[in-house]
Amino acid sequence: MTKQDKISEAVVRRLPVYLRYLNELSASDILTVSSQELGARLNLNPAQIRKDLAYFGDFGRKGVGYNVSYLIEKIRQILKLDRPLYVALVGTGNLGRALSNYNTYLKDNMKIVSIFDADPSKVGMVINNLVVQPVEELAQTVKEKNIAIGIITVPAAAAQKVADRFVEAGVRGILNFAPTVLRTPEDVRIHQTDFTADLLSLAYYMNFDSEDTTKGTLEDESLVD
Amino acid sequence: MTKQDKISEAVVRRLPVYLRYLNELSASDILTVSSQELGARLNLNPAQIRKDLAYFGDFGRKGVGYNVSYLIEKIRQILKLDRPLYVALVGTGNLGRALSNYNTYLKDNMKIVSIFDADPSKVGMVINNLVVQPVEELAQTVKEKNIAIGIITVPAAAAQKVADRFVEAGVRGILNFAPTVLRTPEDVRIHQTDFTADLLSLAYYMNFDSEDTTKGTLEDESLVD
């Protein structure tokens, strides 16, 4: 396998987005796609797309575009989705339930195979065909099922303890949904999905200047420099 | 209000993370914090933090650190969280339910005030003190309640239609959770929260090279270049 350590996080983050759309095209029996078409659909600059894909070799043919199925195969290889990748989830509240239903979206060999909860009253429940296990079984199940990735959907206060469990059990990647920053060893990759930060940072882009400030509830303008 | 158009998205995205931790410090009656302490807690480079905060003026005092309550006030002003900001959510599945419970995390004047669903059987249900309204009422409610931000937690196939409704109703920002790229006019800011891309991109960082490849299910190494 070639090392691809130089590919930036931003590029790696866009590849699944390309992949999803390419899978849609493939399902519609569309055989080729241009960077212009990809860009228009994905709100991205076609030149950016060509640059992203050029990291991985010369896929496109000028005037013809990319071969959809070849590009799907290549991106799956690059993302290492060409082999099974098993995922465990801890925390079966509303968010955990929503995610455990995402197996349908994931395809590509990545699959949530086990779900856990610390609450004894949740243990034994069946959610999307998975039986909720007690969190004490996590380490053993991770080893038995060769689970590489952990998803954390527990409250913020409980999240670090779950991360520690995952690390001890030997997972190599964690996707954390709890609104808190977790500490993990350097060789365990952690991605943070932070709704509240996503939402709060939107506020910055709201252009209140153009608004009629006499309207409604915006009365504390005096606080602003 | 000063224009801060030059602040990068990455900085704007980190500010809510700073804010959340500063609020925690404030709740524990901690009055000052150094960039080193912030960095250690948030897995960020202290120099990066100083640089981020320097965009907005000279807050810190050498050897003393940042005044926590002053920094909270400043970040809230910068993010425009110093005034009420109302949010509507469409889609009351598991994910929508999980999010409608996030009002407790949001604080800072941002509040989910209305929730909608296209499914008549959901209309009238009460979720976290909010009554589910029919999606047909969206435009009127957005205007009446001065709602600025929309959250989309519907299936991918229905998401563009909901985005169009939000845009027509006059929201200025959208947070989309549906795994699809949405089209909106340039003056409507859209943030995409994409679980599946977060999860699939993790696969790239899994280091299979160091693994015993005779073990388990990794049999298609031959596919890799």
**Does A60 score more than 70 pLDDT?**
no
**pLDDT given at position A221:** 30
Q: Are residues B183 and B126 in the same domain?
A: yes
* A107 touches B: beta carbon within 8 Å: no
Q: Are residues B48 and B107 in the same domain?
A: no
Chain B contact set for A97 (CB, 8 A): 94
**Domain boundary, last residue among A50, A78, A106:** A78
Yes or no: say if A43 and A6 are a contact pair by the CB < 8 Å rule.
Answer: no
Higher-scoring residue by pLDDT: B147, A199: B147
**Does A224 score more than 80 pLDDT?**
no
Instruction: Report how many domains make up chain B.
Output: 2
**pLDDT given at position A6:** 67
Higher-scoring residue by pLDDT: A58, A208: A58
Is there a domain that residue B208 lies in?
no
**pLDDT given at position A114:** 97
Is there a domain that residue A206 lies in?
no
**pLDDT given at position A10:** 84
**Among A153, A149, A151, which Cα is nearest to A86's?**
A149
Q: Are residues B73 and B113 in the same domain?
A: no
Mean pLDDT of A132-148: 97
Q: A119-133: per-residue pLDDT in tens?
A: 999 999 999 899 999
Q: Are residues A162 and A182 in the same domain?
A: yes
Mean pLDDT of A189-195: 86
Chain B contact set for A85 (CB, 8 A): 203, 206
Assign B162 to helix, strand or coil.
helix
Q: Are residues A65 and A98 in the same domain?
A: no
Give the dihedral sign, CA B140/B144/B148/B151.
negative
* B6 touches A: beta carbon within 8 Å: no
**pLDDT given at position A212:** 39
Q: Are residues A63 and A93 in the same domain?
A: no
B residues 126..185 contacting A (CB < 8 A): 146, 148-149, 151, 172-173, 175, 179-181, 183
What mean pLDDT, rounded, does chain B reach? 84
**Domain boundary, last residue among B24, B50, B78:** B78
- Domain span at residue A56 reads 3-78
Is there a domain that residue B215 lies in?
no
Is there a domain that residue A223 lies in?
no
Is there a domain that residue B211 lies in?
no
For residue B36, what is the domain's CATH number?
Answer: 1.10.10.10
Mean pLDDT of A147-172: 96
**Domain boundary, last residue among A78, A104, A125:** A78
Which pTM was predicted? 0.80
Chain B contact set for A217 (CB, 8 A): 83-84, 146
Q: B93-114: per-residue pLDDT in tens?
A: 999 999 988 776 666 688 999 9
Q: Are residues A112 and A192 in the same domain?
A: yes
* B78 touches A: beta carbon within 8 Å: yes
